[in-house]
Structure 1
């Protein structure tokens, strides 16, 4: 772990998880920063000013630099969206599947049903689970078998399950191999924790550096603690687990510091 004082904290959506490489930070717009020090003074008036676009160039509440990073990560377009088909379970859209990947699912007609719009899906082309798969456990086993059969198409199998839901906290339709989540376009969630240290009246941000042996984003800077939210565990318990695994923070400390995570 390392402790740095950055003029700005840049947060990327978890969906992309593009991490910043371990190098000196370079900022092209020094006036478009939102520092940890200024965040303590960020109030409701600042929120209104940001929403109305009335910031001055040297306004510490100017978040344009942050939004530029969000826009850079949001690479979707109307043309790209047309390449994906809704994935439905119990008439609920739980994900979006690329048309190229659907061709591999057609081989498993006892698990997946591929419907064209002209056959009455109601929303155009779509993919759903076979009507015989009524229970979450049955769906998990059936889809898990498919993942094993086409495993060569999905690198990095972890044997870790993610819950498949319509949105966070809603009933779980089934559980899906973590590595396959992007291929089915499901909503995946995670826990992230930043650590700050105050020295001489200044705030410093603790950064983690990923092992060079990691299969994903090796050697890049990361949050102090971060991890995906698997099936069957609460946010708080998952965060405490990740604290131990990634930062060596014992539960005696994390249990007292994670009271707001449910």
Structure 2
């Protein structure tokens, strides 16, 4: 079911990319709450009902309170929660990897609010299992032709990648680990994925954001992306350095729009970043779904509001 965006189920057309990124059924999940430094309980995630009993087996860390699953205890130091959660997730991962991503050792921040303080960290592989907020950075690399028209560089993800192989992506993009500033992450990804560094990377401009919420089986992924634009010299050619990209395409905005019309051409969140780019550069002027698209690029989290609320 698609929550919060209407229920017409359309997968075709530009608005279909919004629908693709916001499919979830909150009835399948239990609220996950944790405690801030003052001991206040805050909703930080959502756990699938099939997963909750596995977490409750770690009684020193998880406890049920009606339908709510509580993580940690009031007054428990952030570092202690991080350490206990890391041990629990590792034990669970070694026992049964369903619902986990690939273990990376990268810490993902656990937040109650997108711009709020980090309560503690969790292994990146477990963020979807706990349904915690995930943030990333994407870079739009573009150039201008002799006629002044914008052309956008897109990367095609390697077919060897475990997730979303062969789909279109921005020229550079990546996960925002705990303790890393968005600009620093954008510069690192631009260097690794497209060979953009030095003075050229210094021209990155943070310009926008998108948000979404998507369910994958037992996982819930409420995501947000910091978007950077980078105007590149006409003669620039991106060069991948980390093996995650098999090639690049330089497309006009009408060509980008054409590819966005159908599902499974872009990686899901990359489609939203591309839509945002088109909107900011006037390419969606007059589109019949313009307002729905713009509103759909910034989706409220499924657990915003009262604890007893929720969408389905």
TM-score of Structure 1 vs Structure 2, range by shorter chain: 0.5 to 0.7
Which residue is equivalent to 2:288? none
Bigger relative contact order, structure 1 or 2, given CA contacts below 8 A and separation 6+?
A: 2
Which residue is equivalent to 1:94? 44
Give the conservation status (yes or no) of the 8 Å contact 1:109–1:130. Answer: no
State the TM-score, normalized to the length of structure 2. 0.57
Which residue is equivalent to 2:111? 165
Change (3 A) 1:71 1:139: same
Gap runs ≥5 in structure 2: 1-11, 36-40, 208-225, 229-312
Please state if 1:211 is matched with 2:158: yes
Give a deviation string over 1:172-230, Cα, whole Å, max 9, x none.
Answer: 11101111111111111111111112113232110111122222112222111111111
Instruction: Please list every run of at least 4 consecutive aligned residues from structure 1 whose deviation after the TM superposition is greater than 4 angstroms.
Output: 259-262
Please state if 1:150 is matched with 2:113: no
Partner SS for 1:68: helix
Q: Distance in 2 between matches of 1:108 and 1:132?
A: 17
Aligned length: 188
Q: Distance in 1 between matches of 2:199 and 2:63?
A: 49
Which residue is equivalent to 1:83? 28
Gap runs ≥5 in structure 1: 1-27, 29-64, 117-124
Give the conservation status (yes or no) of the 8 Å contact 2:34–2:73. Answer: no
State the TM-score, normalized to the length of structure 1. 0.67
Which residue is equivalent to 1:74? 22
Mapping 1:1-262, distance limit 5 Å: 65-76=13-24, 80-90=25-35, 91-116=41-66, 125-131=67-73, 134-151=76-93, 152-153=96-97, 154-201=100-147, 202-258=149-205
Q: Distance in 1 between matches of 2:74 and 2:174?
A: 34
**Structure with higher strand content:** 2
| Shift in Å, 1:133 | 6.4
Report the RMSD for the aligned CA atoms in angstroms: 2.0
* The 10-residue stretch of structure 1 (184-193 or 213-222) with the greater mean CA deviation from structure 2: 213-222
